[in-house]
Amino acid sequence: MLFATIATWWAASAIIAFAAGAVVGVALPVLSYSGRIAAPAVTTPDAVAEGRVLRGFAGSGNRFGWDRAWPLYLPHQGLRDAAAVRAGALSVGTRAVSVARSLWWRPGEGGARTAASIATLVLWVVLVLPVLVGALAGLLVSVGAWHLVIAVAGGTISVVQSVAIGIRRTIETTLRTQRRTTSRCPRCYAVSSTPSYLCTNTGCLVIHRDLSPGPLGIFRRRCACRTTIPATVRKGGQHLVAVCPACRRELPKGSGTRQVMFLPVIGAVASGKTQFLSAAVMSMSDRVNAHGGGFTAISPVSRAFIKAAEAAITTGRRVAKTPWDDRPEGLPFRLTQGTVDKELQLMDAAGEAFADEDRSRALVYFDTADVILVMLDPLALPKVSPLYDASDLAGSVSVADGDPTRSYASVVERLKAEQVDLSGKHLGVVVTKADIVHELMGEDVLDAGDGGAVRRWLSSRGLDSFVSTIEGDFGSVGYFAVDSYTQRDQDDPLHPFNVLDWAFHAAGFWIEAMARPESDNELEGMLK
């Protein structure tokens, strides 16, 4: 009878205690999350940036660490939350055990005291133990079940997320490689595959160095300031403010989402660099506009350049001398047509920069150029200048000063000394002021339609060894003669556009054959 009563009590109290323990176990995650019991560690953007959350760096994060943004909940915050629930369960359990133990009354050693201890122990075992065991078991089972559910669901979501990240990253890299998108800083000349981006919240100082799908977001990312921005350069690059990863200065809008054709020019003072680039840019603009595309200057400096070029070319005024600046700024232009979106960045340094190797040392952008143009003023050649000086044309145009090969050497000697590989680079030799040469010597001397003829002309005018030097230095060399001053037909062999055409082909900027102004289809091809 007594045993039956005890057994019933045990069963009943254990079941009730089990249920109570289970309820506590269910309430624990809520209590923990709201910080009442064992609050979890939070994967804050600061913890992320300090490298305490995510291991291993990805993308350009390699250089700068992880960006200051909120990571995905899984797995890192999820694991921390689960650990907090376990810690909470442990502390509730320990507390229950110590409360239960305090109920066993032990007055001390000897005689009646020992007897009292034993008596309360018996009572304790009969009354308290089943409650304690039931409660602990309930807690254990419910926390265990919760972990199991979370582990299965969280694990599945985590795996799906990793796959999604992998797919999104592959798409991004493939498209980027296909479109050959880069960004080129017009001011510090740094070339990078991913520019850095500012948060859209203007009060936020966070710079997002590596906008790519990953643990900081698969489609969108939440900045430390809780503003959400796109998680890819392809999406974000369209409207976020891009800054140079190297110098942090603002880049032209859309940098990093386009292929960039970079075209720097070498040439002595008054060799005709600016006149050539002005004519080339205007013809580019005319062509693209004529075919329904857009050609726009995308920086204050390139806007000023195109304005001056337009004024000079349309009125026949001569271009102004370029002021000498140690670190000239690149001139970025955007070319759009249909879905095609590309950038052309020209670099027009003043001739003074090419006086010697020391001066041209700052022009490190030559290191990363696939195509380089060198401007040669034929009127400065010893075999031509007496003819010009003695003619009626003498003084009509400024003539380059100094040996025309010196400006070339000022750049290329440094590149060679620094072991820059020139074998993959292309050099365009542009003989300027061909109109004047033709007036002095007749139309047939400098046949612009034929690069070989221009090369022979230079060789026979004292530049024989120069020709062999440059051909030994560069992977390929193209020869051109241009008249950048007179407005000529688009298909005139002396038109500066011919040089651009060659340069674009050499750099793989135009995939289809060169567009002639008559054919729309071909221009589309040229921009693709």
Ligand X SMILES: Nc1nc2c(ncn2[C@@H]2O[C@H](COP(=O)(O)OP(=O)(O)OP(=O)(O)O)[C@@H](O)[C@H]2O)c(=O)[nH]1
Q: Which residues bind ligand X (CB under 6 A)?
A: 267, 269-275, 318-319, 321-322, 350-351, 397-398, 432-433, 435-436, 482-485
Tell me: does residue 275 bind Mg ion (CB under 5 A): no
Q: How far apart are CA 469 and CA 460, in angstroms?
A: 15
Q: Which of 120, 201, 228, 368 binds Zn ion (CB under 5 A)?
A: 201
Q: At its nearest, how many Å lie between Zn ion and the CB of residue 347?
A: 14
Q: At its nearest, how many Å lie between ligand X and the CB of residue 304?
A: 14
Tell me: does residue 368 bind Zn ion (CB under 5 A): no
Q: Which is nearer to Zn ion, 309 or 369 (CB)?
A: 369
Assign 3-class secondary structure to 72-129: CHHHHHHHHHHHHHHHHHHHHHHHHHHHHHHCCCCCCCCHHHHHHHHHHHHHHHHHCH
Q: At its nearest, how many Å lie between ligand X and the CB of residue 315?
A: 12
| String of contacts with Zn ion for each residue 380-419, x by CB under 5 A | ----------------------------------------
Q: How far apart are CA 257 and CA 124, in angstroms?
A: 75
Q: Which is nearer to ligand X, 80 or 461 (CB)?
A: 461
Q: What burial class does residue 119 get, using C-beta atoms within 10 Å of its C-beta: 0-12 exposed, 13-18 middle, 19+ buried? A: exposed
Q: Which is nearer to ligand X, 270 or 346 (CB)?
A: 270
**Number of residues that make up the chain:** 528
Q: Which of 142, 271, 322, 405 binds Mg ion (CB under 5 A)?
A: 322
Q: At its nearest, how many Å lie between Mg ion and the CB of residue 414?
A: 21
Helices (H), 245-298: 273-290
Q: Which is nearer to Zn ion, 254 or 451 (CB)?
A: 254
Q: Which of 115, 160, 163, 247 binds Zn ion (CB under 5 A)?
A: 247
Q: How far apart are CA 194 and CA 44, in angstroms?
A: 25
Q: Which of 83, 225, 241, 350 binds Zn ion (CB under 5 A)?
A: 225
Q: At its nearest, how many Å lie between Mg ion and the CB of residue 348?
A: 6
- Contact region for Zn ion (CB under 5 A) — 200-208, 275-283, 334-342, 470-478? 200-208
Q: At its nearest, how many Å lie between Mg ion and the CB of residue 268?
A: 10
Tell me: does residue 311 bind Zn ion (CB under 5 A): no
Tell me: does residue 77 bind Mg ion (CB under 5 A): no
Tell me: does residue 206 bind Zn ion (CB under 5 A): yes
- What tokens appear for 92 in the block? 């509730």
Give one DSSP letter per residue of 229-255, joined into a string.
EESSHHHHHHHSPEE-TTT-PBPPTTT
Residue with tokens 């999104």: 168
How many residues sit in the footprint of Mg ion (CB under 5 A)?
3
Q: What is the Cα gyration radius of the chain?
A: 38
Whether 18 and 135 have beta carbons less than 8 Å apart is answered as yes
Q: At its nearest, how many Å lie between Zn ion and the CB of residue 206?
A: 5
Tell me: does residue 199 bind Zn ion (CB under 5 A): yes
Q: At its nearest, how many Å lie between ligand X and the CB of residue 393?
A: 9
79 binds, among Zn ion, ligand X, Mg ion, none (CB under 5 to 8 A by kind): none
Q: At its nearest, how many Å lie between ligand X and the CB of residue 378?
A: 10
Q: Which is nearer to ligand X, 499 or 523 (CB)?
A: 499
- Long-range (24+ apart) CB contacts under 8 A made by 382-389 are 382/462, 383/461, 383/462, 384/437, 384/440, 384/461, 387/440, 387/441, 388/436, 388/440
CA distances to 97, 102, 113, 134 from 105, in Å: 15, 7, 10, 21
Count Cα atoms within 13 angstroms, Cβ side, for 279: 25
Q: Which is nearer to ligand X, 223 or 309 (CB)?
A: 309
Contact positions with Zn ion (CB under 5 A) in 130-189? 185, 188
- Contact region for Zn ion (CB under 5 A) — 173-181, 237-245, 413-421, 478-486? 237-245
Q: At its nearest, how many Å lie between ligand X and the CB of residue 165?
A: 50
Residue with tokens 């003829």: 453
How many residues sit in the footprint of Zn ion (CB under 5 A)?
13
227 binds, among ligand X, Mg ion, Zn ion, none (CB under 5 to 8 A by kind): Zn ion
β-pairing verdict for 196-198 and 340-348: unpaired
Count Cα atoms within 13 angstroms, Cβ side, for 174: 6
β-pairing verdict for 371-376 and 258-266: parallel
Q: How far apart are CA 406 and CA 365, in angstroms?
A: 19
Contact positions with Mg ion (CB under 5 A) in 325-354? none
Tell me: does residue 246 bind Zn ion (CB under 5 A): yes
Tell me: does residue 484 bind Mg ion (CB under 5 A): no
Per-residue b/e over 306-321, b at no fewer than 16 CB within 10 Å?
A: beebeebbeeeeebee
185 binds, among Zn ion, ligand X, Mg ion, none (CB under 5 to 8 A by kind): Zn ion
Q: What burial class does residue 388 get, using C-beta atoms within 10 Å of its C-beta: 0-12 exposed, 13-18 middle, 19+ buried? A: buried
485 binds, among Zn ion, Mg ion, ligand X, none (CB under 5 to 8 A by kind): ligand X
318 binds, among Mg ion, Zn ion, ligand X, none (CB under 5 to 8 A by kind): ligand X
432 binds, among ligand X, Zn ion, Mg ion, none (CB under 5 to 8 A by kind): ligand X
Tell me: does residue 274 bind Mg ion (CB under 5 A): yes
Select from 198, 191, 332, 195 the least CA-distant residue to 252. Answer: 332
Residues lying near Zn ion in the complex (CB under 5 A) are found at 185, 188, 190, 199, 201, 204, 206, 223, 225, 227, 244, 246-247
Binding site for Mg ion (CB under 5 A): 273-274, 322
